[in-house]
Amino acid sequence: MEDTQPLPKQEKFLLPLALLFAATLYWTVVPKLVHDWWDDPNFSHGFLVPLFSAWLIWERRAELRAFASKRTLLPGIFLVLLGVAMLIVGKAGGEYFTMRSSLVFVIGGLFWIVFGGEGFRLCLFPLVFLFFMVPIPYILYDAIAFPLKMIASWFGEHSLSLVGVPVFREGNIMFLPNLQLEVADACSGIRSLMSLMALATAAAYFMSLGVARGGVLFLSAIPISIVTNSLRIFVTGVLSYKYGQKAAEGFFHEFSGWVVFLSGAFLVFGFGLVLRTLGPKPEEASPK
């Protein structure tokens, strides 16, 4: 039976105070972060990340009640001070990634203060998973998107040539007899890559793959994203050659994006199941 014993009176005030402290520090940072999730489709998965982490923590609420009375403050205070220092440095340099990443450290530190080291370790995965809600710096984004565009363009050129579609490529632009197709950042696969990496991490956790196999599954999101997105470019090129520019725009373009992501998600889960069979199986839960 689940432990529903209420927290002691002093514990009831500690969590609201911690939340108030975090809200005071980040009242200008979080709204801009949410705006980026809404405005930039590359990071729209950010809405789901904190909800997913909160759900995982909520599932452990019974154990956390027991750990709350075994607090060790010093490590938690260190994490909070580290986060605050990152926030100050980020604000001084106008660097959003540092400011937003500091939020995870502050949350982790406050979590340690409220629930102790055992509670922190119990919820380490959902706390670390929060880093997926932080958009990567655009200098890193461009460094990733550029080679992805080149790979996707190269694949598109050669695959279209194999099926008899006349095509000439110059950089990330493919010239067909009746039109030209540009493989832009949005078509490079980086959008699905960000989401698939988060999905692969969650799948590795639920499948109990461990660090090694979980790392393999995480990295598998890269080739999976490249392959599925390259196939999207190939299909777009064939349809555009046969039916004109409109086939590469509008509904098909949006719909194919969802197909690419769902195909990638299916491949991630499938590969995760394969990895699960290759290593030691998770221990069976002992009967209660």
Q: Cβ distance 53 to 202 under 8 Å?
A: no
Identify the DSSP state of 27: T
Residue type, position 197, single letter: M
Quick: pLDDT tens for 191-220.
Answer: 788 889 999 999 999 999 989 999 999 999
Structure tokens at 125: 């995965």
**Banded pLDDT at 185 (limits 50, 70, 90):** low
Are the beta carbons of 135 and 42 closer than 8 angstroms?
yes
117: which 2 tokens?
């080291």
Q: Is 150:185 a contact under the CB 8 Å cutoff?
A: no
DSSP string, 43-91: GGGGGHHHHHHHHHHHHTHHHHHHHTTS--HHHHHHHHHHHHHHHHHHH
- Return the bridge partners of 168, or none: 175
By percentage, how much of the chain surpasses pLDDT 70? 84
Strand partners, 174: 169, 181
Tell me the pairing of strands 168-170 and 173-176: antiparallel
Q: Three-class SS of residue 119? A: helix
3-state secondary structure of 134: coil
- Give CA angle at 224 (247, 55), nearest 5°: 105
Task: Please report, for the chain, the start and end positions of each structural domain, with discontinuous segments joined by +.
Answer: 9-133, 138-278
What is the per-residue pLDDT across 165-180, written as a single tens digit (0 to 9) for each? 888 888 888 888 877 8
CA dihedral sign, ordered 164, 168, 173, 178: negative
Question: Who has greater pLDDT, 33 or 73?
Answer: 33
